[in-house]
Amino acid sequence: MRTKFSKISFLILIFAFIGCNSQKEMNKINLAELSITEIHKAYAQGNYNSQQLVSTYIDRIKKYNAELNAITLINPEAIIIAKALDEEYEKTRKLRPLHGIPLIVKDNFNTKGLYTTGGSLALKDFIPEENAFIIEKLVDAGAIIIAKSNMAEWAFSPMHTESSTAGTTHNPYNINYVPAGSSGGTAAAVAANLGTIGVGTDTGNSVRGPSSHCSLVGFRSTIGLISREGIIPLSLRNDMAGPMCRSVEDATRVLEVIAAYDANDAVTKYSDGKIPANYQQFLQKDGLNESRIGVLRELSDNDPDPEITALFEQALEDMEALGATIIDTIEIPDFSNLRKNQWCADFRKDIENYLAKYVKRDSLRTLEDIISIGTKSDFAAQRLTNLTKNSGRSVNPEIECSDPYTDSKRIAYREAIEKRMDELNLDAIVYPSWNNKPARIDSFQSDYKGDNSQVIAPHTGQPAFTVPMGFTSGNLPAGLQFLGRMYAEPTLIKICYGYEQGTNHRKAALVD
C-alpha cells in the first residue's frame, strides 16, 4: 500500500512539475517588436492572455525606465482591466479592435483616475474626472492604459523632453541624446518596447519629431480628423493628437479607432463624410507602385547633415525601385513668403479655457497662477514669461488667428501647395523629418537644427506621416516624412506602408 501511494505521489509531483513549467513557459513572452496582430493571434491560440502580457510589460518598465526616464506612472489598475478583458474574451471569443493591447499615453491627455500633469508643478496632483475623447475611444476598443509618459513641460519644447514632474527623458538608441520633444516619453517607451502602442500630441513637431528620433512611425493627421477634447492645449489651432507606433500597420489600426467626429471639438465637423470605415484596407505592400512623389529640396537641402542626406537620397532610390515616380525637384510658388508669420501665441487663451473646464480650481485660473506656482525647468520658465507678453500674431496682428479652414494665411499657404500637387499629379511630397541627427542632451539648444516638421503641416492643416529612414553613426535614427492633401490619409498609408515593407529600416532599441 505504501509503495502504491509513493508511485501515485510521484506521478502527481511529475504532472505538477510539468504544469508549473508549462505555465512558466507561457509567461515567457518576448516583447521585442510585438504587434497588435501578433498579440491577438497569441490570445486566440491561448499562448498567453492580456494579464500575463501586461505583467510582462510592467516588469520591463521596471527594468529599463530608470535609464530612460520615459514613464511617469504605471497604471495601478492595468492588471484588473486586463483580467476583465480576458474574462470577456473567454465568454464571447471575440476580440475588440485593440483588445488587451497595452497603451502608452502622453501626460497631457486626460485619463480618468490617473494624474494628468502636462509635466508641470501646477497640475502635479490633477486627476481628471473623465477620459479625453480619444482616450475613451481607445479604451472602448479594448486598449489598456499601462502607463503615462513623460513630456516636455506644457509641450513647449520640440527639442527635448524635460518636465518638472519627472525630469529628462533619454533616447533609447543612445542615452546621451534627446528623443526630441515634446512627446519624447511616448517615443522612447514605445521604441524600447515598454508598451505596444502609444499616443502623443503634435503642435508643430511633437509626434513626428520624437518618432523620427526613435525609429517609429508617427501620424500627424488632417486637422479635423481627430478630436483634441480633453487634452492640455499648447495652441489649439495647431494641436493634433496621433499614433506613435513601431509599424505603419499598428499606427493605422490606432488611427482607425480614434478618427471620429466629436461635438466638443468643433473643427471635427469638417471631417464629415471623409472618414473611411476601414483604414486597414490601404495597407498595401505595393502601395508605392505607380505613385508620384515630389521632392521638396527647399527643405531637404537646407544645411543638412551629410549622413541624413545620404539616407534621404537612398530613400528616393528605394521608392523608385518600389514603383514610384520621383519628381525632383518641385517648386512651390512664393513658398518662402507663404510660410512666414503663420504662428500665433494662443497659449494663454487655450490653457485658461482648459483650467476652467477641467481643473476647476479658484487658485489656478490664469497663466499668472501657473507662473506663481513655479517650475523646475529653465526652458519652461522662459517660455511662460514670454507668453505673458505675447499673444496673437507677431506680425500683421490684424489678421485673425484661426483654424486652417477659416484663417486666410493658412488657406493661401495650403492652396499653393495643393495646387502644385495637382499640377504635377503628385500623391505626396517628401523630405527628411529632420535634416540633422538628434542633439546631445547636454547641448540640445545649440545643436537644435533641421526640424522640418514645423514648416508646413501644422499651418496648412495637411496630414504628414514620418516613417523610419535608417540610422546614422552613433546608432541614431532618422525619419522620412510624407505630406499629403487634406484628408488623404488613405494615400499616405499606402505609400508609407509600401516604403516600410520595402525597406524594413525599423530595429528595436534595448534588445535583451
The answer to whether the beta carbons of residues 493 and 214 sit under 8 Å apart is: no
Q: Which of 236, 279, 283 is nearest to 258 (CA)?
A: 279
Residue type for position 356: A
Q: Which of 100, 60, 165, 145 is nearest to 511 (CA)?
A: 60
If DSSP codes are grouped into helix, strand and coil, which group holds residue 200? Answer: strand
**To which H or E segment does residue 201 belong?**
strand 197-202
Instruction: Please give the grid coordinates belonging to residue 32.
Output: 521585442
b/e sequence 459-487, b meaning 16+ C-beta within 10 Å? bbbbbbbbbbbbbbeeebbbbbbbbbbbb
Distance CA 377, CA 177 (A): 18
Alpha helix positions (H), 228-296:
248-258
The answer to whether the beta carbons of residues 251 and 219 sit under 8 Å apart is: yes
b/e sequence 214-248, b meaning 16+ C-beta within 10 Å? bbbbbbbbbbbbbbbbbbbbbbbbbbbbbbbbbbb
The answer to whether the beta carbons of residues 312 and 436 sit under 8 Å apart is: no
pLDDT tens, position by position, 45-90? 999 999 999 999 999 999 999 999 999 999 999 999 999 999 999 9
What residue spans define the domains of the chain?
42-346+397-503
Note if the pTM is more than 0.85.
yes
The answer to whether the beta carbons of residues 141 and 98 sit under 8 Å apart is: yes
Per-residue pLDDT tens digits of the chain, which is 512 residues long: 333 334 434 333 343 443 443 344 445 899 999 999 999 999 999 999 999 999 999 999 999 999 999 999 999 999 999 999 999 999 999 999 999 999 999 999 999 999 999 999 999 999 999 999 999 999 999 999 999 999 999 999 999 999 999 999 999 999 999 999 999 999 999 999 999 999 999 999 999 999 999 999 999 999 999 999 999 999 999 999 999 999 999 999 999 999 999 999 999 999 999 999 999 999 999 999 999 999 999 999 999 999 999 999 999 999 999 999 999 999 999 999 999 999 998 999 999 999 999 999 999 999 999 999 999 999 999 999 999 887 778 788 888 899 999 999 999 999 999 999 999 999 999 999 999 999 999 999 888 999 999 999 999 999 999 999 999 999 999 999 999 999 999 999 999 999 999 999 999 997 67
CATH says 42-346+397-503 is which class? alpha beta
CB atoms within 10 A of CB 257: 20
* pLDDT, position 27: 53
Distance CA 225, CA 213 (A): 25
Instruction: Provide φ and ψ at 44, rounded to 5°.
Output: -65, -35
* pLDDT, position 18: 37
